[in-house]
Structure 1
Amino acid sequence: MVNQEYRLTNAGFVHDFQLIDVQNFNGVGESEPNPYFYQNLAEAEYVIATFMYMRMLGYPAEKISILTTYNGQKHLIRDVCKQRCGTNPFIGFPHKITTVDRYQGQQNDYILLSLVRTKTVGHLSNCFELTPAFNQGEQFICKALQRALSRDSQKTSHPIQVPVHNPDDINEIFDTISYDKGASVIRMLREFLGKEKFMDGITSYLQQYKYGNAVTVDLWSALSKKSGNTVDVKAVMDTWTLQMGYPVVSVKKSGNKFILTQERFLSDGSATTNLDESPFGKYKWHIPFRYTVLYKDGSTSTGMVWLHKGSGKLFNCSVTADDKLITDTSYTEISVTKDVTLIKGNYGMYGFYRVNYEEVMWNTIIQQLQTNHTVFSPGDRSGLIDDVFNLARAGLVKHTTALDMTKYLKKEEDYAPWYSALGGLGFIRKMLQKSPAYEQFKTYTLNLVKPIQTSLTWNDSGEPLQKYLRSNLLSEVIMLGDSDATKKGRQLYDDWMIKNTSIPPNLKTAVYTAGIKYGEWSEWKYMLKKYNTSITPSNKDRYLSTLGETRDSIVINRLLHMALNEDMIKHQDLYKVMRAVTKNPSGQLLAWRFVQQNWEKLLQWYGDVSFTLPEFVKSTTSSFSTEFDYKEVEEFFKKVDSGPAKRAVSTALENIRTNINWLKSHEDEVKTWLQKNV
């Protein structure tokens, strides 16, 4: 019988995650016996030795999977495993030995990962190739890709590549677009080129320009050459880096064909025909459209077609054997058989675009989610949810469609779909704060979240994403005022405060929220004491952020003014206070007044910092939704120097206008839906 401690911690290891470089074994390390058939005997031996070590400690074999980034290494590890473990029934074999790509959508308690390459760059490592192993792929989709899609859907966005005329321009452009959109389009590029060709291109580029200077076109040229010049990488990527925004691909069914068209997506749903910011005239993109289709028998198949921006030969041949070469300038067709029941675009969520479907197709997808949601991967489910909520905000689909999709969530047990759903539901809740429907919407959300939250219990166990999901859902039900969760959270907080009882790491956020949001002055004062006495940066950050969650406006004001005194709260930490206070309905207006009253001081402190002032402007105005709010913000920033927040002011005003229009266009629709479904 396996000791319980081995199920809860990584017994026999110093760290939860360990990265070890093994360059050779008996003089043999990385090799390439055939093109792209990379192997590393040293790593194969090491990873099997680690597996055997874990088995002798009592780790269950079925809880261990061995992954690698290359097929060659997969075969080598299997051979080594047979030699070392095949004759030992006690050791046995791991649950799986396969490639990272084949493991997409699967999980296990313990992952041993062989990256193979030691001589050159190797695979695009930490957040792409490690993704299935550490479950970062899903987190990239919902935290980086979707965040960039949200920001880049505004008229006040900017291209990835922009000219810099003065130092303030530099500060302003290092933002979500530069980082998250930049990472997302590179991820998309890697996918349509193929991982090996992409990495060969990156390696060639780094070797060619080491110790020297390079420009963007040099990177595109290196990648094109390593692709065998089958793709004009510059032509494709210019449409993603030289113009702001991104497309929404509309999918319509006509007989046994799906017809794809594109247009620029804007969060306010406005037309784009009069916008001339694109260097190409009209906003169009070269879009690698990956898709999966579902058949009546439950099987699936995948493919990719290109939806081009316009005329001009882009390819000499297909990128892969499955790609369909399309040269039409206005639309693309996907031919299917009669037994196809649905199509899901942007399969794998590698593309930087949204996908919209006809209403009947959305309804088919919703029905499939309710019948068997696991047909789609967690990342694809997250993408469907994020798309439908944002398309609804833009007026391209009905809000009833988005809300109908959420009904299946009572069966959803994965992190990424819930992350996206809580974001979409949270926006509507924020918009309804002053509406009679606010409490009704809170009730619907609580009824949706509560079953999964209850099933996860309060035990801080499981794989990382399960722990994160538990934390998010506990925080959500406590924020919504669930009596059972609030009572439990307050009890744990009191035990911590009075008895010095430790709180499990992934429950701290929820417990701290319960104690501060629903507690008294004594709980708040204790948290402040913990902030002042803690020497651990991560703990100090958590304490400080939680202090802003109190419902007492007097205490919130006190916290804000404490933040002006660097002896009490470091200037570098003020944004953490502001972020917490602006998420708190009791603190949103107080935070805006604080910014108005102290703008000159804030400008003096943070005028040379890229993120802080823009963060203050956007966060303090994010819930504003009236003409009065719009005019007040507009007039205030006409009178002051906005410094590095100039672009953020324009974005804030655009957000407020979008909020105003949302209430005019969609509040009644949501109210009617709630009356029928709550």
Structure 2
Amino acid sequence: MCTSASHNASEERELLPTNVSPIHYDLHLAPDLDALTYTGEVHIKVRINEATDNIVLHSNELEIKEASLTSTALQSGASISASSITLKKDDETAHLAFAQALPNGSEATLSLKFSGILNDLMVGFYRSKYTDAQGNTKNMATTQFEPTDARRAFPCWDEPMKKATFNVTLRVKENLTALSNMDVAKTAAVGDGLKDVSFSTTPIMSTYLLAFIVGELDYIEAHTSGKHNGRPIPCRVYTAPGNSEKGRFALNVSVQVLEYFADVFGAEYPLPKLDQVAINDFEAGAMENWGLITYREVALLVDEASTSSRAKQYVAEVVSHELAHQWFGNLVTMEWWSELWLNEGFATWVGTLAVGHLFPEYAIWTQFLTDNLQRALSLDALRSSHPIQVPVRRSADISQIFDAISYSKGASAIQMLSSYIGHDSFFKGICAYLQKHKYANASTEDLWNALSEASGVDVSHFMATWTRKIGYPIITVTELENGSQIKVRQNRYLSAGKATESEDETEWWVPLGIETAESKIQRPIDVLTSREATFDVPVSTSKWYKLNKDTVGIYRVKYPASAVVNIAQAIAEGELGTNDRIGVIADAASLAVSGHSSTSDFLTLLRAYASETEPVVWQEIATRTDALRSVWVNESDEIKEKIDALSRTLFSPLVKRLGWEAASANEDSLVGRLRALAISAAGFSGDAEVIAEANRRFHAFFDGDKSAFNTDMLRAGFAVAIYHGGRAEFEKAKSYFLDSANPVDQQLAALSNLGFTKDPALVNELLEFALSDNVRNQDVHQAINALSTSEANRERLWKWYQENYDLLVTRYRASMSYMGALVRISTGGFIGYDKADEIERFLATKDTSKFQRVVDQSLEKIRSNTAWFKKDREDVRTWLASNGF
């Protein structure tokens, strides 16, 4: 493997040599679903860029049996076999040496015969198990290549810039379905009960987007209108036999979204068909393989009668996200993984746009603030965060950046930019970008250039700091004595406290979005471009003023105390919009954590929300109060009960107002979710009436009265019953999870609630159960996540992680990012510097290089939360006492 200089001077990428480039792959595979092996043959047309007698390409855990070259440029004018085949495990490469050199500018065909295993690692070409209607365990073969696992399926140039075209042929049993990115070109019987299924040639594309699937599959089908392509596009959802009708909702969404994106992108969907497949064993949520998108079952299947509205919305979001990739990522591909955000940030943003278009009742852009912006701000407040455009040197580093920065901060940066330049200009630029770079690779700078030309604004000038620099600012507001101006200053925000001088060098371009009670927003939008500046705001004559209107900017705001009082009054009187109310409470809570203000200030502000009615605002309030309860876990029982009492004053009235039953059959789904949120929060904070009713309904549900919990209530009802119950409740919920007749989202809800038990014996049983065959590898985190919410269970969970570390590494060795998820869950709830030191000492003895970023973030979060608790422990005690708790 050679090291190549990148476009970014600070980043040295470990890339394959550039002496040979692939043009076209002709790939033949013969999987055996019984033996869980396969044989393969690939003929790769290559271009010789430099005279060479050596070819290096990627190969990982494959046995290459033969390699030969055919070219008219060879002295023999025929074919020669490789004189040596050397596999380098650490580099995941195959080095092929030949007796003759191929001249510069010539073309050749590289032919390789190889074999591999259909592994159980959920990467490469792997097997997924499912149970048929007769209770038999069956296998299907499927693929997951992003970011660097095409090389596990066949030898190839496995880098996004090495685009080529592909012809795929699969030799399979006659009764099986075979799928790939393109439509079937021909099927031919070959004897012994086998057939060859050959697919049409793909467009030029990256290896990570290739896909193929073999198994017993059912499908349902619909078609687009044909107005964009001149012909209807067949869209199918494939599932294991008997489940296809559960794909109806996703199928309807996908047809509409394909049409919608063709409109907004100004480019038709370029492939002849779209297949979407539910895979039982699947580590990611979904994968945007061009024309053959794969999903976890929970991300694609909906039982219209039983699936919760949140799970249904999740399906709409994931389908829209993956379809966005068909243009943004597949048609135009990032040039290297350091530009991952171009794929994921944009797909997150435009996927949200599509869901908002199809389902306005979801208030999806308000949910965007909690699900994406606040998620991004939380992670990016850590010193161990990373820029949106993050240097990536080697394959091992790539999986560590599939996180809230690439997805959620990337999407939030696009939201901030599109709001500033206007959606019309934004989409004009996007359409130009796609047209210019289609079937090619592009960089962030290419996107900025297109948007600058469309908007007449130098986008690159002000967006570079947002994508290339780590973190974001806190904007501190000072009111000037003249009563008509404010001074604003920006510094880097860190949850651990004030940034040092060396950490605080960035000066961001900050759209301030100043609004007042009278003007709502000033035009043009005021922008802070230096460390500090003064702006005209009629402080003395305005009832209130607020920065970051609609909470579209990526920053926190700290106001003078008098301004906070005025904002609180505006909230209480219903004068601030929903998104602004979310931003205010999120900022107040975050500034308490970092020490820029006190926790008592945040608690006082909560009172302004007493009459709050919007579900998403309550979601943010619950998130922030849950964080307080979690961090204050080491307090005395007396103080913890007072915090619970505070929680009950917030959420118990909500339960009484909303009741336990929907007001009507067509109740707003967000109201149903709010009811569940209130019941969960009140139940966990000890509301005796809620606990009793949850328990009564729980047992009625298992006695046959399925109306006891509607679809949105089941998760909350199960959680409260298990938390305050014992073995009986635990076993009932466990049996519900194990019953495959239940909707997959509800099964997983039951599994994720088992960790709320307080019984040490049940905790031990759950930890053993989590590693059994009853829980798929991709769902282990669901089984253990709730254990981290209990002080006693945290210790047992951390011990389990240590005891099973080697087993977990073996199980997830091909997807080590999952080890990062497990370490985050197993350690994230702790408070105490000594605990952080203990965790750090243990992990220092392990090879955590493939998930070190998550280790650093988990340790930093423990120390940051510990500092918050120590700083404000007395402050909270005093506030509780003076406010009647």
TM range (shorter): 0.7 to 0.9
Distance of 1:252 and 1:664 partners within structure 2: 28
Q: Which of 499, 509, 513 lines up with 1:286 in the alignment?
A: 509
Deviations 1:622-677 (A, max 9, x none): 22222320221111011111243211111111112112211221100000000011
In structure 2, the CA distance between the partners of 1:129 and 1:365, relative to structure 1 (3 Å rule), is farther
Residue ranges of structure 1 left out of the alignment (5+ in a row): 1-18, 28-68, 71-119, 277-281, 311-328
Deviations 1:543-590 (A, max 9, x none): 21111111112101111112222x221111101112122123442211
Q: Which of 339, 343, 368 lines up with 1:140 in the alignment?
A: 368
What SS is found at the alignment partner of 1:375? coil
Shift of 1:411: 0.9
What SS is found at the alignment partner of 1:155? coil
Distance of 1:594 and 1:337 partners within structure 2: 57
What SS is found at the alignment partner of 2:488? strand
Aligned pairs for 1:4-83 (under 5 A) are none
Distance of 1:236 and 1:632 partners within structure 2: 43
- Larger relative contact order (CA 8 Å, sep ≥ 6): 1
Aligned match of 1:385: 585
Residue type at the aligned position of 2:512: F
Contact kept, 8 Å, 2:593 with 2:865, in 1: the verdict is: no
Residue type at the aligned position of 2:461: A
Query: Which one is further off, 426-435 or 136-145?
Result: 426-435
Distance of 1:449 and 1:367 partners within structure 2: 21
Residue type at the aligned position of 1:225: E
Contact kept, 8 Å, 2:509 with 2:527, in 1: the verdict is: yes
Q: Which of 633, 655, 661 lines up with 2:867 in the alignment?
A: 661
Deviations 1:237-270 (A, max 9, x none): 1110001100111122212112222111000112
Distance of 1:20 and 1:307 partners within structure 2: 47
Contact kept, 8 Å, 2:510 with 2:527, in 1: the verdict is: yes
Does 1:128 find its partner at 2:353? yes
Does 1:575 find its partner at 2:575? no
Residue type at the aligned position of 1:367: Q
Aligned pairs for 1:189-228 (under 5 A) are 189-228=417-456
Aligned pairs for 1:624-635 (under 5 A) are 624-635=830-841
What SS is found at the alignment partner of 1:417? helix
Aligned match of 1:356: 558
Shift of 1:611: 4.1
Residue type at the aligned position of 1:236: F
Aligned match of 1:36: none
Highest CA radius of gyration, 1 or 2? 2
Q: Which of 726, 733, 739 lines up with 1:520 in the alignment?
A: 726
Aligned match of 1:252: 478
In structure 2, the CA distance between the partners of 1:22 and 1:345, relative to structure 1 (3 Å rule), is farther
Aligned match of 1:617: 823
Contact kept, 8 Å, 1:156 with 1:647, in 2: the verdict is: yes
Residue ranges of structure 2 left out of the alignment (5+ in a row): 1-221, 231-262, 265-326, 329-345
Residue type at the aligned position of 2:418: R
Does 1:411 find its partner at 2:606? no
Q: Which of 758, 769, 777 lines up with 1:562 in the alignment?
A: 769
What SS is found at the alignment partner of 2:558? strand
Percent same amino acid among aligned pairs? 29
Shift of 1:538: 1.4
Deviations 1:178-219 (A, max 9, x none): 111011101111110100000000000001111111111110
Shift of 1:339: 2.5
Shift of 1:24: 7.1
Aligned match of 1:10: none
Q: How many residues align?
A: 539
Does 1:648 find its partner at 2:850? no
Residue type at the aligned position of 1:362: V
Aligned pairs for 1:194-593 (under 5 A) are 194-228=422-456, 231-254=457-480, 255-275=483-503, 282-295=505-518, 300-303=520-523, 305-310=525-530, 330-336=532-538, 338-370=540-572, 372=573, 374-436=574-636, 437-461=639-663, 462-502=667-707, 503-535=709-741, 536-565=743-772, 567-593=773-799
What SS is found at the alignment partner of 1:491? helix
Distance of 2:540 and 2:725 partners within structure 1: 60
Aligned match of 2:394: 166
Contact kept, 8 Å, 2:809 with 2:816, in 1: the verdict is: no
What SS is found at the alignment partner of 2:479? strand
Residue type at the aligned position of 2:704: K
Distance of 1:645 and 1:475 partners within structure 2: 33
Contact kept, 8 Å, 2:493 with 2:499, in 1: the verdict is: no
What SS is found at the alignment partner of 2:802? helix
Residue type at the aligned position of 1:128: L
Does 1:675 find its partner at 2:675? no
Residue type at the aligned position of 2:472: Y
In structure 2, the CA distance between the partners of 1:526 and 1:353, relative to structure 1 (3 Å rule), is same
In structure 2, the CA distance between the partners of 1:163 and 1:205, relative to structure 1 (3 Å rule), is same
Contact kept, 8 Å, 1:460 with 1:507, in 2: the verdict is: no
Aligned pairs for 1:68-107 (under 5 A) are none
Contact kept, 8 Å, 1:489 with 1:514, in 2: the verdict is: yes
Shift of 1:275: 2.5
In structure 2, the CA distance between the partners of 1:661 and 1:125, relative to structure 1 (3 Å rule), is closer
Deviations 1:90-144 (A, max 9, x none): xxxxxxxxxxxxxxxxxxxxxxxxxxxxxx9999754136545531111110111
Aligned match of 1:33: none
Aligned match of 2:213: none
Structure with higher helix content: 1
In structure 2, the CA distance between the partners of 1:554 and 1:353, relative to structure 1 (3 Å rule), is same
Shift of 1:443: 0.6
Taking structure 1 as the reference length, the TM-score comes to 0.76
